[in-house]
Amino acid sequence: MAADANNLTEQYDWFSEENRTNRVTERLDTAGCLFLSILPYGQAVSALIWIFVLLTVFSFLINGLTLFGIGRSEDLSWDTRVAFFKNLILSDLLQTVTIGPTVIYSLVQRRTIAFSTWCHTQYFVGTVSIFSSLLTITCMALERYVYVCHAIRYLVIITQVRLRLALIIIWVYSVIISTSNMLLVHTLGVQKNETFTSGLLCEPDIVERHMGFPRAAAVFRKLLGSFTLLICLLVNVFCYSRMYKDARNAVIPFHAVNTKARNTVLFYCSMLCLQLLPLLLKVISDALWAVEGTAAMMALPSQATPKPSYSAAVLHMSMLVMLLVPPCINPLVYGLRNVEMRLSMLSLFRLRRQRRGADARVVEEIRIGNIVPQNRAQAG
């Protein structure tokens, strides 16, 4: 009996140790399993890594060069449009810094993002940068509307004081929205014991899912975000429609069609839609969540760790890719398409070529100066 008791005790200890090891291993591998539920194909992961690396590098290069070119130009320092454009570049750089490296790291590690301090920072800064970009583009449309439709009173309406006030309001409003979302989620939600999330980025749905779906916080975020998006859309539609109407009325007495104005308005409207595509995808995902419900967007409730559904995974990855597209195209749309800014960038490259030519001439003169005394010495 004593020997049997000792055997049973040893077996119990062995099984207990094995269970603890299995639990630790399962906890460590859960992030990898969730990653495979989002991206089950290895080729897709490799392709996404290259896509995010290219978008991130291109965004840094094009925004950095554009900002440097504007800073070197004294002619553009007073322009109100350039002030809004520099604010847009700053927002795009913040968006790229917080989103690009985070997603690339998760893809390379084949794991979902951990719910850590960086997750909170990325969620806060990402929300601020997205709303700041949206409000800045809206203010740029208003500025162009005043410039085209009220050109005589432009300097009276758009003053430096109002410009600074508009920039301050953009950032204060964006910070308030981001802070309110974080406070409501962490106050009303209950954090799970897991240290990982079910996504590659700490976007609102992922954070709310990790905090137990606080309904009041989700409703507040969706209502405030949809209201801001709707107001910005209405303002942009009003501004571009009025600009096109005034341009069309200017050529009606001559029985002509202002094709250039129509193409310009269509171009900026299409770029605006591309800029707002991530937010529209977010609205679609919120609507899909409301229609399908929690059970459809996640795996079976009996599972210890919920897994996102196929539709939620596709929307999540699509939104991550589209979040890095606007920072890449904004400098091309609102910067290089403008004649003054394009000339400023070209003058920057010309200055570099002139400096290289001057350095080459200096080196050549030094080399010739050293050769002439040597020849004279040899002749003597």
Only one residue has tokens 């409000």, namely: 135
Q: d(Cα 230, Cα 232) in Å, to the nearest integer?
A: 5
Both tokens assigned to 236: 């942009």
Domains parsed from the chain with CATH numbers: 40-298+308-345 (1.20.1070.10)
Average pLDDT (168-185) is 93
**pLDDT at position 290 over 70:** no
Are 170 and 135 in contact by the 8 Å Cβ rule? The answer is: yes
Place of tokens 């606080």: 214
Distance of alpha carbon 168 from alpha carbon 347, whole angstroms: 32
Please tell me the distance from the alpha carbon of residue 297 to that of residue 311, in angstroms, as a whole number.
8
The CB density around residue 229, as the number of other CB atoms within 10 Å, is 17
Closest CA to 192 of 307, 353, 304: 304
d(CA 155, CA 147): 9
pLDDT at 9: 45
- Closest to 235 measured CA to CA, from 131, 134, 90: 134
pLDDT for res 303: 44
Which amino acid is located at 70 in the chain?
A: I
Give the pair of three-digit tokens for residue 9. 């005790």
- Cα distance between residue 266 and residue 319, in whole Å: 24
242 touches 145 (CB < 8 A): yes
Q: Which residue has the tokens 């020997």?
A: 3
Q: Which residue has the higher pLDDT, 331 or 12?
A: 331
Statement: residue 129 has pLDDT above 70 = yes
Give CA angle at 286 (48, 277), nearest 5°: 50
Looking at residue 302, its pLDDT comes to 41
Which of 377 and 300 is assigned the larger pLDDT?
Answer: 377
Q: pTM of the full predicted structure?
A: 0.76
Residue of higher predicted confidence among 196 and 135: 135
pLDDT at 174: 94
- Report which of residues 294 and 240 the model is more confident about: 240
**CA R_g for the chain:** 29
Cα–Cα dist 123/207, whole Å: 8
pLDDT band at 97; cut points 50, 70, 90? very high
Torsion-angle region of residue 353: left (phi > 0), alpha (psi -120 to 50) or beta?
A: alpha
Confidence of residue 300 (pLDDT cuts 50, 70, 90): very low
Secondary structure letter of residue 76 according to DSSP: T
* CB distance 30 to 194 below 8 Å: yes
Confidence label for 95 from pLDDT (cuts 50, 70 and 90): very high
Mean pLDDT, the chain, as a whole number?
76
Residue 142: partners with Cβ closer than 8 Å, 6 or more residues away: 235, 239
pLDDT tens digits for 221-241? 888 888 998 999 999 989 988
